């Protein structure tokens, strides 16, 4: 399948426009050895061939897709400058663009005021949120579900915060009774609710977790690295919608523009409801912050140098595709969820498979029916390979028995976990491609 070459011409036009901003400078055009560049680039392209085809709708494996063309082009355009959003000295325009883009993400959750910034990704964004929590609740534990992203336990260890793992219910959501029992022990200062778990796209019961705050004083952080943008979708189930409607009531939120926001990697976002938490970031720098008395992004973020290009790409994407309910971007998310429901229904009708849960967002997980859990896992692994041989790229996920039992995929539980197939149908085109995906899946299963 050819890549999009047409939009490349637009980059040349935009570059000429960018040049206009520096026209008064004396001529200075570094010369490049075009032959050497060409050879190296061709060699680079050849190395890159050894990748899964993330750009193609037959890739439904991990949460991977190429950025939107506008993000790709805006990122590339800014590479002629390479802004650094640590300080206004390094990225004056791109820092302003970052502030505007982050404010638009905050408004998506109803926040008119906030403190927030972009960062390397979901892990760094969650690190900052947990670090601020630690400063506000010293010595107290972090609680997150057993389906929360694996980095939460690691981040808690890094921050020397005790960690409490809360079990999940049969549909992969944090068990609120178990959370209540943990809170009653009196040691937990922060609860992480995951709004869209990585493995199954489950949404923790936010209204019930928020209700617990009336009895226990904890900070509530939402990890919506994967799921956050679904607040704009118009086809969520009622329970999922209720959870999304309450995201704005928490203390901090993480959303990854580099997952569902159509951005190149290196673009996470952390938001705090109370701008006063900025006090924890206070530090002195010997050589930046002289160019303006305005707040520099480095004064409210843990990292120092950061790619201004990430902000430029995000800003351009939001100009083209604003975060509005019913807009083009929102319709793309709804299409992905529609594709997930189509896949789920088809799997339900197929006696070879047992989908574990009705998808809340755009991830579908299913087991291969077999006499025992061990055999089901082995069949899932074989089917994963057989699909890949037909250019249909799925993922595998290891899920606990509690999330699989109600689908009854096996007669005998000889193991407490099940390897399941997993599809992230996150491209809007997946809805149209679903019939083809199902044909290939079926052929692979027959083989």
Rounded to a whole number of angstroms, the minimum distance from the CB of residue 270 to ligand PLP is 11
Report which DSSP code applies to 175. Answer: -
Closer to ligand PLP at the Cβ: 90 or 268?
Answer: 268
Q: What token pair was written down for 157? A: 């260890």
Rounded to a whole number of angstroms, the minimum distance from the CB of residue 343 to ligand PLP is 19
- The number of helices, as runs of H, and strands, as runs of E, in the chain is 14, 13
Closer to ligand PLP at the Cβ: 199 or 373?
Answer: 199
Rounded to a whole number of angstroms, the minimum distance from the CB of residue 268 to ligand PLP is 5
Q: Say if residues 260 and 313 touch (Cβ distance below 8 Å).
A: no
Q: Say if residues 376 and 368 touch (Cβ distance below 8 Å).
A: yes
Closer to ligand PLP at the Cβ: 175 or 223?
Answer: 223
Closer to ligand PLP at the Cβ: 126 or 334?
Answer: 126
Cα Rg, the chain, nearest whole Å: 23
Q: Which helix (H) or strand (E) holds 412?
A: strand 410-412
From the list 78, 221, 126, 168, the residue with the least C-alpha distance to 404 is 168
Rounded to a whole number of angstroms, the minimum distance from the CB of residue 261 to ligand PLP is 11
Q: Say if residues 272 and 116 touch (Cβ distance below 8 Å).
A: yes
Residues 75, 265: Cα–Cα separation, whole Å = 11
Closer to ligand PLP at the Cβ: 109 or 226?
Answer: 226
- Please state the φ and ψ torsions of residue 279, each to the nearest 5 degrees: -55, -30
Closer to ligand PLP at the Cβ: 225 or 341?
Answer: 225
Rounded to a whole number of angstroms, the minimum distance from the CB of residue 287 to ligand PLP is 29
Residues 300, 294: Cα–Cα separation, whole Å = 12
Q: Which residue has the tokens 């690691």?
A: 154
Closer to ligand PLP at the Cβ: 182 or 263?
Answer: 263
Closer to ligand PLP at the Cβ: 303 or 350?
Answer: 303
Rounded to a whole number of angstroms, the minimum distance from the CB of residue 317 to ligand PLP is 17
Q: What token pair was written down for 137? A: 């609740």
Rounded to a whole number of angstroms, the minimum distance from the CB of residue 198 to ligand PLP is 3
Distance of CA 358 to the CA centre of its chain: 20
Rounded to a whole number of angstroms, the minimum distance from the CB of residue 63 to ligand PLP is 6
Sign, CA dihedral 372-377-381-383, equals positive
Number of residues in the chain? 447
Rounded to a whole number of angstroms, the minimum distance from the CB of residue 353 to ligand PLP is 24
Q: What token pair was written down for 432? A: 């149209």
Give the DSSP letter string of 281-330. Answer: G----SSSS-S-SSPPGGGG-S-SS-BHHHHHHHHHHHHHS---TTSHHH
Q: What token pair was written down for 97? A: 């663009």
Residues 242, 351: Cα–Cα separation, whole Å = 33
Nearest residue (beta carbon) to ligand PLP: 122
Closer to ligand PLP at the Cβ: 225 or 392?
Answer: 225
Closer to ligand PLP at the Cβ: 149 or 379?
Answer: 149
From the list 316, 299, 318, the residue with the least C-alpha distance to 85 is 299
Closer to ligand PLP at the Cβ: 63 or 312?
Answer: 63
Rounded to a whole number of angstroms, the minimum distance from the CB of residue 288 to ligand PLP is 26
Rounded to a whole number of angstroms, the minimum distance from the CB of residue 397 to ligand PLP is 12
Q: Say if residues 67 and 313 touch (Cβ distance below 8 Å).
A: yes
Residues 441, 294: Cα–Cα separation, whole Å = 56
* Binding positions for ligand PLP, rule: CB under 6 A: 63, 121-123, 126, 149, 151, 194, 198, 223, 225-226, 256, 268
């Amino acid at each position: 399948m050819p890549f999009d070459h047409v939009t490349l011409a637009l980059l040349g036009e935009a570059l000429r426009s960018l040049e206009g901003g520096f026209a008064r400078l004396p001529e200075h055009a570094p010369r490049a050895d075009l032959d050497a560049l060409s050879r190296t680039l061709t060699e680079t392209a050849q190395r890159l061939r050894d990748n899964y085809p993330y750009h193609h709708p037959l890739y439904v494996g991990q949460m991977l897709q190429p950025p939107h063309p506008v993000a790709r082009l805006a990122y590339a355009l800014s590479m002629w400058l390479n802004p650094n959003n640590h300080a206004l000295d390094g990225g004056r325009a791109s820092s302003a663009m970052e502030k505007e883009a982050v404010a638009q993400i905050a408004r998506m959750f109803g926040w008119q005021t906030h403190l927030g910034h972009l960062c390397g990704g979901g892990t760094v964004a969650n690190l900052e949120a947990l670090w601020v929590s630690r400063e506000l609740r010293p010595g107290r534990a972090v609680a997150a579900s057993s389906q929360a992203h694996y980095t939460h336990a690691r981040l808690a260890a890094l921050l020397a915060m005790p960690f409490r793992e809360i079990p999940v219910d049969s549909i992969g959501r944090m068990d609120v009774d178990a959370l209540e029992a943990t809170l009653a022990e009196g040691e937990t200062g922060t609860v992480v609710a995951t709004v869209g778990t990585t493995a199954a796209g489950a949404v923790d019961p936010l209204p019930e977790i928020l209700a617990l705050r009336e009895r226990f004083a904890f900070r509530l952080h939402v990890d919506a690295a994967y799921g956050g943008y679904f607040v704009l979708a118009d086809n969520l189930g009622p329970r999922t919608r209720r959870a999304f409607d309450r995201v704005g009531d928490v203390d901090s939120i993480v959303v990854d523009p580099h997952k569902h926001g159509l951005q190149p990697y290196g673009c996470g976002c952390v938001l705090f409801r109370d701008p006063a938490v900025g006090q924890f970031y206070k530090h002195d720098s010997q050589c930046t912050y002289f160019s303006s008395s305005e707040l520099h992004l480095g004064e409210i973020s843990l990292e120092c140098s950061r790619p201004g290009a990430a902000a430029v790409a995000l800003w351009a994407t939001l100009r083209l595709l604003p975060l509005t309910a019913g807009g083009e971007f929102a319709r793309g998310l709804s299409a992905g969820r529609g594709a997930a429901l189509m896949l789920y229904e088809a799997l339900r009708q197929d006696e070879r498979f047992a989908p574990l849960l009705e998808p809340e967002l755009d991830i579908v997980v299913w087991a291969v029916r077999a006499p025992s859990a061990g055999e089901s896992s082995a069949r899932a692994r074989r089917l994963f390979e057989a699909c890949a041989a037909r250019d249909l790229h799925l993922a595998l996920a290891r899920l606990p028995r509690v999330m699989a039992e109600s689908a009854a995929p096996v007669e005998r539980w000889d193991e407490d976990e099940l390897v399941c197939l997993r599809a992230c149908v996150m491209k809007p085109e997946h809805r149209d491609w679903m019939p083809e995906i199902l044909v290939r899946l079926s052929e692979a299963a027959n083989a």
